[in-house]
Amino acid sequence: MDIVELLQMTVTYLLITIAGIFVIVNPLTTAFAFMSLTARMGEKRKQEIALRATKISTGLFFIFALLGSLIFQLFGITLAAFRIAGGIILFGIAMGMISKRNGEKTEKQSKPEGEISDDISVIPIAIPFISGPGSIATVMILTSEAPTIYHTVLVFLAVLITTVSCYYSMIYSKVIVRYLGETGKQIITKVFGLILAVISVQFVVNGIANVLVDFGIFEIPGVDPGPGFEPESE
């Protein structure tokens, strides 16, 4: 593989991975929530909270990405099962993003404006706004599907790009809210929801393909049996 092919592969894989993580994390939603939760705070305090939330969420993503295979082994979970379950969860989130009407509030946005806890950088900003169950599952699936160490590094880079985007969306939340408004937020959320629905369906399709190969029902080119399902030697 020459340098040009490597560069093309890197850019393509990185963009696909960023899209998969970015649409489920949705930094715009984080910006709107951050604006509401920090309405009575000073700029310095806002920056501290945004930075800490970004560090915590990035660390959580990295931990689950690194320990994903260990978690599978510990609980006896196959990659196929996790792909299917993760895809179903993400599809439910996607349908919520698409079908949500203007003015409706999610459970995350139930606090009145300006009402804060002692430290909102951990809960609810880092968890679950940035690193929620759906986004963690997405990172674990992407890491487990990475064919090489190089691709795994690209997944980590995509996580870093997404969380840094969340940081700047929080820092400039006033500008984002002012220019997008509620209508702009709803439009972008629905578009993200559609993209997420497609990604989640692909996760389920990949999982079903793995199950069919694991149990020897079909032989699908490019799909190998998962751990614990290696074909027995005759």
In terms of phi and psi (left: phi > 0; alpha: psi -120 to 50; beta: otherwise), the region of 37 is alpha
**How distant, in Å, are the alpha carbons of 92, 133, 170, 182, 187 from that of 105?**
17, 19, 19, 12, 15
User: pLDDT tens, 63-83?
Assistant: 999 987 788 788 887 878 877
Residue 231's pLDDT band, with cuts at 50, 70 and 90, is: very low
The most confident of 29-43, 48-62, 196-210, 211-225, by mean pLDDT: 48-62
Residue 107's pLDDT band, with cuts at 50, 70 and 90, is: very low
Average of pLDDT values for 144-154? Answer: 91
Average of pLDDT values for 120-133? Answer: 88
Would the pLDDT of 108 be above 50?
no
Would the pLDDT of 45 be above 90?
yes
Would the pLDDT of 103 be above 70?
no
pLDDT given at position 89? 83
Choice among 48-52, 60-64, 131-135 with the minimum mean pLDDT = 131-135
Q: How far is CA 224 from the centre of its chain?
A: 25
User: pLDDT tens, 155-203?
Assistant: 999 999 999 999 999 999 989 888 888 788 788 878 888 888 888 888 8
pLDDT given at position 62? 96
pLDDT given at position 220? 66
Residues 6+ apart with CB under 8 A from 39: 113, 114
User: pLDDT tens, 6-16?
Assistant: 899 999 999 99
Percent of the chain exceeding pLDDT 70 equals 84
Among 169, 146, 167, residue whose Cα is nearest residue 156: 146
pLDDT given at position 14? 94
pLDDT given at position 161? 96
Among 130, 173, 162, 127, residue whose Cα is nearest residue 34: 173
Residue 233's pLDDT band, with cuts at 50, 70 and 90, is: very low
Averaged pLDDT of the chain: 82
Average of pLDDT values for 35-49? Answer: 89
Residues 6+ apart with CB under 8 A from 18: 158, 161, 162
Rounded CA separation 132/140 (Å)? 12
